Homo-oligomer: A and B are copies of this chain.
Amino acid sequence: MRILGIEHVAVATADLDEPARIFGQLLGLSKQRTEDIPDQQVITDIYATGSGKIEFVKPTAPESPVSKYLAKQGAGIHHIAFLVDDLRAWLRHLRQQGVELIDQEPRTGAEGFLIAFIHPSSTAGILVELCQRP
C-alpha cells in the first residue's frame, strides 16, 4: 500500500480561457481533455505536463464547492492528488489512524479514476485527494 506519485494538481478558476492561453499556448502543455463532472458541479480542462497533470476546475453552478472556494479565496491551487495503488485499503488505514476523511468510500472522478478526499484538518491545512487508476 503506497503512494505512487503526484497524479495532478487542481487549480480553481472562474474561467478556462485564460489557463488555455497561458498553460496551453504559452507554456506548451498539451490539453488531454475537457470533462464535465456533474457530481461536483464543475467542468475541468486537463493538461499533461510530462509527469503529472494540471487540471483547471471551473464551477458550473453557484452551489459547487469550487464556487464557494473562489468566493472565499479567489483563483488558486485547490488541491493536490496523489496516485495510490489501493484506495480502499488506504481509506481503511487512514480511518484507523484517526484521520478525518471527506469521502468514506471511493467515488468516481474525472477520467474514471476512483477518488477520495482527506479533510484538510488532518493534512496540515491543505486539501489532499487520493486516487486510483480505473
Q: Which residue numbers of A lie inside 8 Å of B, CB to CB?
A: 1-6, 9, 11, 13, 15, 18-19, 22-23, 26-29, 49-52, 54, 56, 73-77, 79-80, 82-83, 94, 97, 99, 122-126
The verdict on A97 contacting B26 (CB below 8 Å), with A6-B9, A124-B11, A125-B75 known, is yes
- Ranked nearest first, the 6 interchain pairs of A and B with the lowest CB-CB distance are A5-B51, A75-B125, A6-B52, A5-B50, A77-B77, A4-B50
Chain copies in complex: 2
In the bound complex, residues from chain B placing their C-beta under 8 Å from that of A122 are: 22
A97 to B54, CA, bound (A): 22
A-B pairs with beta carbons under 8 Å apart, 27 shown: A1-B28, A2-B50, A4-B49, A5-B52, A6-B49, A6-B51, A6-B52, A9-B9, A9-B80, A13-B124, A22-B124, A23-B124, A26-B94, A26-B97, A50-B83, A51-B51, A51-B52, A56-B124, A73-B73, A74-B125, A75-B125, A75-B126, A76-B77, A76-B125, A76-B126, A77-B77, A77-B79
